[in-house]
Amino acid sequence: MLTLKGYQQRAIDTLDGFLSKARDRQNVTEAYAEALQAQGLPPLAYRDYGFAEVPYVCFRIPTGGGKTLLASHAIVTAAKSYLDVDFPITLWLVPSNTIRQQTVDALKTPGHPYREKLDFAFNHQVLVLDIDEVTQIRPQDIEQKAIVVVSTLANLRVNDTSGRKVYAYHENFEPHFAKLPPNHPYLERLEKVSAADIQEVGLSANELGKIKYSFANLLALHRPLLIVDEAHNARTALTFDTLQRVHPAAIIEFTATPNTSTTNGSNILYHVSAAELKAEEMIKLPIILTEHQNWQDAVRDTVITRNKLAQDAQKDESYIRPIALLQAEAKNGEVTVEVLKAYLTDDLHIEADSIAIATGNQRELDGLNLFDPACSIEYIITIEALKEGWDCSFAYVFCSVKQVSSSKDAEQLLGRVLRMPFARRRVIEDLNRAYAHLATKGFANAAKELTDKLIAMGFEEMEVAAFLRQQALVGEGQTDMFDGGGEVTKPALAALVIELPTMPELEHLDDEDKRQLAISEDNGAYVVRISGEVSEPLQQALLKAVGKKPAQEAIARDLRIHNQSILAQKSPSERGESFGQLPLLCAVIQDELELIEPETLLENGQLNLLDYPAKLNNFRIQETSNSFSIDMDGKEISFHLARQNEVINLNDDLLDVTEQDLVGWLDRECRQPDVLQRDLLKFSALLINDLLQQPNINLTALVRNKYPLLRAVRDLIGLYRKRAQKAGYQQALFGHEAQVVLTEEFVYRFSPEHYPARPPYYAGRYKFQKHFFPLIEDLKAQGEEYECAKAIDSLPEVKVWIRNLVRRDHASFWLPLAHNRFYPDFICELTDGRMLVVEYKGEAYVSNDDSAEKWAAGELWAKSSQGRCLFIMAVEQDGQGRDVQQQIQDLICRTANLAATV
């Protein structure tokens, strides 16, 4: 089964935590706030849009991030963490019929990555249906198969439901409603047969007012999970009303560009950044942009770029045939498909059989496998977007001979060249980049137009600045794309060109600002070319000349991105420099050198579960409040039950369900890598047996409430694991016989290409000069932590520093704690070669147990390094009256002599 990328697993883990809290707290707003806080994100108001306590959240994932794969995993997570059902019903909504068919085909195909997870989780009992096939659902399918129905939102989104298949009466659904008890809690929400239905279907008048046998009513009866693809298209009042008609249990959205307005914006639960996709080798970045004054130059340089990449690809370990996507103009334009193809074949001598045309009338890609080495296609000419769902990671070069800003299709085509072949970084660096050649009739509009498209694809402003590289024109018909050795040259610091309606006032600017400007007049507008960083006075002068506020906002955005792009290109990682390595904390355990991780703290890497009592203390089922509670480590914890119509009914025949069946189910659902299966089976059997000895608890009650029971057992095992880890941690690192070691065998290195930062990014006025990477994650432009970063940046002893990422797989430096990992705030390389780790603590946290454990780990790490590494837990002002800068500087100077003797 396909393993999720790190950011994908973090997204699913975030969903799991959010849904679990929403279920147990019965408070979605609280669960949402805690999920954001756990990610270190600023608080956002949760908006329910009339769905009350139904979770309604969004995943923001840029183009190329694998939204559909994540959606499949989200179904499994929601079923286990919130719905408490063995086999959920899911309504999967997509934006178009083309995507609908492709999604259905993928989900129906055994072995396809979208289907694999569902088959594994639901023991191959999965039924995937197109919306036109829903009459095939039988009553016995409901609780014996995970059902996924794929539909367009348009099939549901209507004011008048009569005549629509989803809402229409159909006799095949009659068995689903035939045995509904008169006191069923959901009867009132079911739509009744109307006069319009009688006329539409030809029913007898006797059916008027009775329950309508429809798919919409079937969904309302079983409360489906809703998956909404491209959710930015589904944020209208009509859409909210439509979704409420099917009474969903939860709604999970996926989009690259969520609606973020205050009136109908999405509740963004998790945001994947472009930097994460790059670090996980999912997309090609940066994008090397070259603008051209005429279309012939753009096409010629596209061919040159593709040919150079083809030479590089011959050295790659995998077969790659770089492809260029060329966007022509429509029939009434100058550079039509025919003109473009003729220029390729007649002027540039490209073989005709290496060109495919993909338009509404010419579908030369149909039936072609572009990944096949026997395929000869190297150029694809199109006018509009390629068909939805088309994907070939061999596409490397995007060329447009039309104004990009006037074409929404350019956004989709650009997304095609970003996907990385085989989702794996290539050995030849040029094959890790994407390329764009744009012909523009304006004055350097290409960068602005491409910026607009990237932001529309889910990129943040800071990411555009970091990953869009403008290639300078060096002469008429010539670009400085490749150097003499065939490598892509470093782009020059970008110039920004803007058009203003009036001449900016320059009198108050200093000479340095004026030297950066070149101003010309063109058709009544003033074209301003700016080289270098835009100062605050210059920015104000330019904005004042713009006039109207919307235009000011657009220019201000371009100025921000321009300045950030200049800073990004100056960063050490972009200049090809390396960052010092950091030793990881190790210890000799049972005569073996081990990296200290949670599993190494357990004896033989296993939790000896049978060393602990198999008892849930004070276990109580409170049927009246639909919950039960237990005493967990001295604290009472409540677990809410599933909706009563979705657990096994008290009246069901449970005579065939045995104690061994429940134990076996717990074993399957609770299996964990550090617990031996035989131990888990015995522990579960002892625990169930103990519960059955208690008054008012029988096997039927436990089976009815098996999911809350499962959560309680998992929590109990987690509690025992923490106890074992704490004992192992103390013994391995701080015991009398502890042998702590830092060695060259276990070191961490920050890679210049691997820094998966996530928004919010630092965007303050202070320009950090020594940060190793172009982006700085989660640093506000004010506050104590910001002041600490400024102090580090200003120290002459600091060569470079990094804002350390938290829980980012192989992109974070960490030190071990008893139960998890400690990710210090700042990592510094000093000018003398030593490494300094800085953790900043506010006054409210400096003396708590968490800080004490982190301080002990950091001090042990530094002490074990023999002077090579330093650690400090800095505060705003210490007991000696020193500020942050003085605390750090004193530590560096005090330990310099020791380092010199080692």
DSSP string, 237-267: HHHHHHHHHT--SEEEEEESS----TTT---
- Starting at the earlier edge strand, list the strands of the sheet with 869-874: 798-803, 826-830, 835-840, 869-874
Residue 636 CA to residue 847 CA, distance in Å, equals 27
Tokens of 795: 């120290």
Contact yes or no for 567/762 (Cβ under 8 A): no
Longest dimension (CA), the chain: 99
Tokens of 458: 């889910």
pLDDT at 654: 47
Contact yes or no for 827/581 (Cβ under 8 A): no
Q: What is the 3-state secondary structure (H, E, C) of 157-208?
A: CCCCCCCCCCCCCCHHHHHHHCCCCCCCCCHHHCCECCHHHHHHHCCCHHHC
Residue 196 CA to residue 127 CA, distance in Å, equals 32
Residue 255 CA to residue 239 CA, distance in Å, equals 16
Low pLDDT (below 50) residues in the chain: 162-163, 406-407, 443-444, 473-479, 484-485, 488, 624-627, 632, 641-655
Among residues 814, 824, 805, which one has the least CA distance to residue 756?
Answer: 805
pLDDT at 829: 97
CA-to-CA dists, residue 831 to 536, 569, 768, 794, 834, angstroms: 32, 22, 17, 13, 7
List the beta bridge partners of residue 741.
586
pLDDT at 365: 86
pLDDT at 117: 94
- State the Cα torsion 843-848-850-851 to the nearest 10°: 40
Residue 376 CA to residue 357 CA, distance in Å, equals 13
The DSSP string of 57-69 is EEEE--TTS-HHH
Pairing verdict, β 835-840 and 815-816: unpaired
Residue 626 CA to residue 669 CA, distance in Å, equals 22
CA-to-CA dists, residue 838 to 789, 805, 901, angstroms: 10, 13, 23
Contact yes or no for 714/670 (Cβ under 8 A): yes
The DSSP string of 561-586 is HHHHHHHHHHSTTTTT-----EEPPE
Q: What is the 3-state secondary structure (H, E, C) of 713-774?
A: HHHHHHHHHHHHHHHHHHHHHHCCCCCEECCCCCEECCCCCCCCCCCCECCCCCCCCCECCC
Residues in the chain: 902
Contact yes or no for 623/610 (Cβ under 8 A): no
pLDDT at 651: 32
Pairing verdict, β 525-531 and 517-522: antiparallel
Q: Which residue has the tokens 């859409």?
A: 239
Tokens of 335: 């550079």
